[in-house]
Structure 1
Amino acid sequence: MSETLALPSVRGSLKADAPLAPLVWFKAGGAAQWLFEPQDADDLSAFLRDLDPSVSVMALGLGSNLIVRDGGVPGVVVRLGKPFAKVERLDATTLTCGGGASGILVSSTARDAGIAGLEFLRSIPGTVGGFVRMNGGAYGRETCDILVEADIVLRSGERVTLANADLGYTYRHSTLPEGAVVVSATFRGRPGDPAAIQAEMDRIAAAREESQPLRSKTGGSTFKNPDGHKAWQLVDQAGCRGLQIGGAQVSEKHTNFLLNTGDATSADIEALGEEVRRRVKDKSGIELEWEIQRVGLAK
């Protein structure tokens, strides 16, 4: 189906029928109709401007919080690579961060610059673009606590700068328009001692290591925490610890994580999540909401 789509020329990399399973944490799922890795923001902007408006566009970060369905993703998947992975100090408490920069790079740069308050990003396996879109958070902090503004390329190709207040932040949600790509963000912390910042990052890393199945094929936190509840406790109370469908399993270590034990399809993983939701609803009356994004077509 890829050959039927006339695409604008690019300076970056544009591949047809590109497998996405190697690029996502679950290591499952189909291909992108087109995978575009722009050379810079101008390349991305020109491409989206000239791309048929009916073609869907999806940004892909580290693929940690994502189920790509087995039938693949129609349209264009945009992946921000090294050109978008820079982090630079603006002033004593502020960093400008490329949309493809990892949480580890951002928090480490903040530490070296003596900027506290960004340590929590160390624990989120994603990129700046994903943090901005999903109001990523952990250990009592969220992206909306540190974001000053974000530079965005809209689906139309127009480049805009949106302030924190423009993004309509709520828990794990923003009003960033569909098809928009975050190319950079400005984060502000507070003055801090690098040694104390490192100690806090070490504490967070140890807590994650102890409680989460970090060395497994997983997608991170599967469900949002409902008001007044912890998703993992509801899943555990519904008897789902270790539950399996095909090659997919609810983690024994942390029940809000689903695992690909080796040969799971994305259909297995999604079906397991839906079965967990059903059992939790039957047990507690609470309807869990997916935190993991599910994209693409079923096979």
Structure 2
Amino acid sequence: MMADTLPKVEGKLTAQAPLAPLVWFKSGGAAQWLFEPRDRADLQTFLRDLDPAVPVMALGLGSNLIVRDGGVPGVVVRLGKAFAKVTNSADLTLDCGAGASGILVSSTARDNGIAGLEFLRSIPGTVGGFVRMNGGAYGGEVKDILVDCDVVMRDGSLRTLPVAELGYTYRHSELPDGAIVVAARFKGRPGKSEDIQAEMDRISASREASQPLRSKTGGSTFKNPEGHKAWQLVDEAGCRGLTRGGAQVSEKHTNFLLNTGDATSTDIEALGEEVRRRVKEKSGVTLEWEIQRVGIK
């Protein structure tokens, strides 16, 4: 796929763009093309005019992602500052760009006396990822606060999808294939700013105490199976501190994998599969990946 076969853009289009610097694990290959659109119209025009056979993938903060070492074919779309605004749009409702972080959304909610969005403070990602994955933590889930979201479809058309159409289940949505979330409305409940801040502080402290936040990691690796905690199953299977190449199961929180320095994505994914094998052998439970794995091995 040569540059002259791609639609003209107003934003930035980079060939063979390294993705490792853009993801939390700091590993993996390059995007065949990385597109950073100037605005929504730029994204719509590009997707409308792009050969429908070319695969397209959205990338947020790269916190819940393993980019395989062979890289990602097609186009990776990364939404920048133009998509990172959060405004108080209506009664107890925030209008959030898909590139906005959980910290920005929860802080804006606090400043406007909107409670119920505090849990977003603890999810290392952007609104687009939260909406796609039904992000959640500390008793809250996106499905509880989402009103609707705007998505650009693979053909460049813009659709607004109400929460009822997203088919939310645990860490999963039925967002249409190829759809890129560009904005979302979240609604909370009335609250006092000082109480909201106190809850955000409590969540931050709890997270700091229990998770390896200063490490190269990908967040929660496996979904919690019905009736179980993933970390406990991993621990009971004897996997605390287990290594594969430069990858390690965190000693601090066993549902986190770490890049201890020079791990390849192959190391990290293989370690995760070994953990799944040992857990299945020990407890009979099959762990499902929560971290998305993309690209060519």
Whether TM-score is above 0.5 comes out as: yes
TM-superposed CA distance for 1:4, in Å, is 7.2
What's the secondary structure of 2:77's corresponding residue? strand
Q: Which residue of 2 aligns with 1:169?
A: 168
The residue aligned with 1:281 is 280
Aligned to 2:245: 246
Task: Give the aligned residue type for 1:44.
Answer: L
Question: How far is 1:140 from its partner?
Answer: 1.0
Instruction: Classify the secondary structure of the residue corresponding to 1:27.
Output: coil
Is 1:92–1:115's contact at 8 Å kept on the other side of the alignment? no
Query: Where does structure 1 lack aligned partners over 5 or more consecutive residues?
Result: none
Cα distance, 1:229–1:219 mapped onto 2, change above 3 Å: same
Residue aligned with 2:194, SS: helix
CA–CA distance in structure 1, aligned partners of residues 44 and 163 of structure 2: 22
Q: Deviations over 1:176-195 (max 9, x none)?
A: 12221100000000010000
Distance of 1:74 and 1:297 partners within structure 2: 8
Amino acid at match of 1:145: D
User: Could you list the per-position Cα deviations for residues 21-41 of structure 1 after superposition, in whole angstroms to 9, with x for gaps in the alignment?
Assistant: 000000000000000000111
Aligned to 1:183: 182
Question: How far, CA to CA, are the matches of 1:109 and 1:98 in structure 2?
Answer: 13
- The CA deviation string for residues 247-294 of structure 1, in whole angstroms up to 9 with x for no partner, is 000000000000000000000000000000000000000000000000
Q: What are the residue-to-residue correspondences of 1:106-145 with 2, within 5 Å?
A: 106-145=105-144
Q: What is residue 267 of structure 2 aligned with on the other side?
A: 268
Which amino acid in 2 is paired with 1:231? A
Distance 1:4 1:84 in 2: 25
Equivalent residue number for residue 206 of structure 2: 207
Partner residue, 2:47: 48
Name structure 2 gaps, 5 residues minimum.
Answer: none
- Tell me, what secondary structure is at the counterpart of 1:145? helix
- Name the counterpart of 1:103: 102
> Is residue 18 of structure 2 the alignment partner of residue 22 of structure 1?
no
Aligned residue pair count: 297
Helix, strand or coil for the counterpart of 2:69? coil
Offset of residue 47 of structure 1: 0.3
Say what the alpha-carbon RMSD is for the aligned residues.
0.8
Q: CA deviation at 1:3?
A: 2.6
What CA distance in whole angstroms lies between the structure 2 residues aligned with 1:120 and 1:140? Answer: 8
In structure 2, what is the equivalent of residue 155 of structure 1? 154
**SS of corresponding position for 1:95:** strand
4+ runs deviating over 6 angstroms? none
The percent of aligned pairs where both chains have the same amino acid is 78
| Partner SS, residue 111 of structure 1 | helix
Aligned equivalents of 2:183 and 2:233: distance in 1?
A: 37
The superposition leaves residues 155-204 of structure 1 with CA deviations (integer Å, 9 ceiling, x where unpaired) of 11110000000100000000112221100000000010000000000000
Alpha-carbon distance in structure 1 between the residues aligned to 2:172 and 2:68: 22
Contact 1:92–1:113, Cα closer than 8 Å, also in 2: no
Residue 243 of structure 1 aligns to which amino acid in structure 2? Answer: L
* Aligned equivalent of 2:72: 73
1:87-141 residue CA offsets vs partner (Å, 9 max, x unmatched): 0001230000000000000000000000000000000000000000000000111
Taking structure 1 as reference, are residues 158 and 206 closer, same or farther at Cα in structure 2, changes over 3 Å only?
same
How much does 1:5 deviate? 7.1
Deviations 1:194-232 (A, max 9, x none): 000000000000000000000000000000000000000
Aligned residue identity for 1:7: L
8 A contact 1:92–1:191 mirrored in 2: no
Counterpart of 2:276 in structure 1: which amino acid? R
Amino acid at match of 2:96: C
